[in-house]
């Protein structure tokens, strides 16, 4: 297949890869779509917090977030976005493809698209080609993962529920959970992988590389897999304590973006002492006092970004109980102090089953002199009995 050049550079020996030798890498062409936006200064200006009541003016519903020109129907979920060189990428999880007659054409554990037009928040252009449907993954499998792809009961899947961390105009990292189906019953988390994105903006190609099969084991906090924000060249990476707090505690690490792929440069925050340490915690029980957020309800998915309109950092999320409500917590710095009472900013239309995969970004509305954070693009996975797909909305704060 000419469309996707996939190379497996190292055999997936579990002993671990030699540094700098990826376990999987792939390069594919992307459409020449440009969606320019202005970065707002991602910095709390030490002035007063603004508009802290988070009153909402209105919410515009754009319907499905999808490629309206795709001749195939894609059923997919989850995912997250990020912007590189005036392009906004959307990555999604499990993607099932049907043709115009409804006949099954293929299935893969993730897919990728580009935002087509910020004025139409539902419009995407899929990055794929019809001839590759059913075989094209946005994130490459290792050889061992690939060898199980056809074994529906034991296959691996690579899923994300947050945005990527842009390190420069052309590079980003994105944390994805690697799960494995076990005899068709339980889905078991095997760890978290780090996908590195390299965009060639002139050649219009994206290269996705995984240095290691797992960047975090299931025993570690998976920093960056819940949320991230970059401020003044420092990436703040948020992890949920899934195992001991059941997704209620958020732990924080940080690293200079220029050294993000070198774990020895990372520091870990202890909210109890207010100190950063170079020693990565090895959790063996719940440690709420070390967490920057210890919520009264479990988080499912969310994003953190600076809002110029509010002069504060926002965490916009779904919780794990109701799943329809976009909620907000806020803080004057990435470290905190975070508010403890969340405010519901929007109850998303329910499908016939539960909704999940809340995502949001201010990037769509950082053009033409707009104030960053006054408007948010919202997305979530809307689920009917027979299908699920992302929906897009625009929320305007009052």
Ligand X SMILES: *[C@@H]1O[C@H](CO)[C@@H](O)[C@H](O)[C@H]1NC(C)=O
Q: Which residues bind ligand X (CB under 6 A)?
A: 36-38, 85-86, 169, 270, 281, 285, 287, 290, 367-369
Q: Which is nearer to ligand X, 151 or 169 (CB)?
A: 169
Residue 360 CB, shortest distance to ligand X, in Å, is: 20
Nearest to 201 by CA among 30, 374, 4, 11: 30
- For residue 381 the two structure tokens come to 């996975």
Distance CA 87, CA 84 (A): 5
Residue 114 backbone dihedrals phi, psi, to 5 degrees: -115, 145
Distance CA 327, CA 347 (A): 9
Residue 159 CB, shortest distance to ligand X, in Å, is: 27
Nearest to 320 by CA among 337, 338, 342, 339: 342
Residue 275 CB, shortest distance to ligand X, in Å, is: 8
Nearest to 192 by CA among 167, 169, 219, 170: 219
Q: Which is nearer to ligand X, 83 or 312 (CB)?
A: 83
Distance CA 358, CA 378 (A): 7
Dump strand ranges (E) for 201-348: 205-210, 227-231, 234-240, 249-256, 267-270, 275-277, 293-294, 299-307, 312-319, 325-331, 343-347
Q: Which is nearer to ligand X, 186 or 285 (CB)?
A: 285
Q: Which is nearer to ligand X, 58 or 169 (CB)?
A: 169
Distance CA 145, CA 160 (A): 17
Q: Which is nearer to ligand X, 156 or 364 (CB)?
A: 364
Q: Which is nearer to ligand X, 85 or 339 (CB)?
A: 85
Degrees, nearest 5: CA angle 366-91-131 = 125
Distance CA 251, CA 293 (A): 7
Nearest to 25 by CA among 237, 245, 197, 216: 197
Residue 217 CB, shortest distance to ligand X, in Å, is: 17
Q: What pairs with residue 375 in β-bridges?
A: 396
The conformation of residue 129, written as its DSSP 8-state character, comes to -
Residue 241 CB, shortest distance to ligand X, in Å, is: 10
Q: Which is nearer to ligand X, 63 or 281 (CB)?
A: 281
Residue 320 CB, shortest distance to ligand X, in Å, is: 23
Residue 201 CB, shortest distance to ligand X, in Å, is: 6
Q: Which is nearer to ligand X, 211 or 249 (CB)?
A: 249
Q: Which is nearer to ligand X, 56 or 335 (CB)?
A: 335
CA 18 to mean position of chain CA atoms: 27
Residue 282 CB, shortest distance to ligand X, in Å, is: 8
Element (H, E) at 246: none
Residue 288 CB, shortest distance to ligand X, in Å, is: 9
Q: Which is nearer to ligand X, 147 or 289 (CB)?
A: 289
C-beta of residue 216 within 8 angstroms of C-beta of residue 190: no
Residue 284 CB, shortest distance to ligand X, in Å, is: 6
Distance CA 194, CA 255 (A): 15
């Amino acid at each position: 297949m000419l469309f996707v050049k996939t190379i497996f550079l190292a055999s997936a020996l579990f002993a671990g890869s030699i540094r700098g030798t990826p376990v999987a890498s792939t390069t594919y062409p992307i459409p020449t779509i440009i969606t320019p936006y202005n970065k707002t200064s991602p910095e709390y200006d030490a002035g007063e917090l603004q508009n802290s009541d988070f009153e909402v003016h209105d919410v515009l519903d754009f319907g499905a977030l999808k490629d309206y020109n795709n001749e195939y129907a894609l059923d997919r979920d989850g995912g997250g976005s990020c912007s590189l060189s005036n392009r906004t990428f959307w990555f999604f999880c499990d993607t099932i493809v049907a043709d115009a007659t409804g006949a099954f054409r293929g299935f893969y554990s993730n897919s990728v698209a580009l935002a087509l037009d910020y004025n139409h928040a539902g419009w995407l252009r899929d990055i794929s080609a019809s001839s590759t449907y059913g075989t094209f993954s946005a994130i490459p499998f290792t050889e061992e993962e690939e060898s199980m792809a056809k074994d529906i009961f034991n296959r691996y899947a690579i899923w994300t529920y947050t945005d990527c961390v842009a390190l420069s105009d052309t590079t980003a990292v994105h944390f994805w959970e690697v799960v494995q189906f076990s005899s068709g019953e339980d889905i078991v988390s095997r760890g978290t992988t780090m996908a590195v994105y390299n965009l060639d903006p002139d050649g219009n190609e994206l290269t996705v590389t995984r240095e290691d099969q797992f960047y975090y084991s299931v025993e570690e906090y998976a920093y960056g897999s819940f949320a991230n924000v970059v401020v003044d060249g420092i990436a703040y990476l948020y992890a949920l304590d899934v195992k001991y707090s059941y997704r209620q505690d958020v732990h924080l690490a940080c690293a200079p973006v220029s050294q993000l792929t070198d774990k020895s440069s990372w520091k870990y925050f202890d909210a109890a002492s207010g100190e950063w340490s170079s020693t990565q915690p090895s959790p063996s029980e719940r440690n709420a006092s070390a967490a920057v957020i210890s919520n009264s309800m479990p988080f499912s998915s969310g994003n953190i970004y600076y809002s110029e309109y509010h002069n504060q950092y926002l965490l916009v999320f779904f919780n794990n109980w109701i799943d329809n409500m976009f909620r907000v917590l806020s803080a004057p710095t990435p470290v905190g102090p975070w508010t403890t009472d969340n405010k519901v900013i929007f109850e998303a239309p329910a499908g016939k089953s539960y909704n999940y995969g809340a995502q949001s970004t201010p990037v769509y509305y950082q053009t033409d002199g707009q104030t960053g954070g006054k408007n948010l693009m919202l997305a979530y996975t809307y689920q009917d009995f027979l299908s699920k797909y992302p929906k897009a909305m625009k929320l305007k704060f009052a």
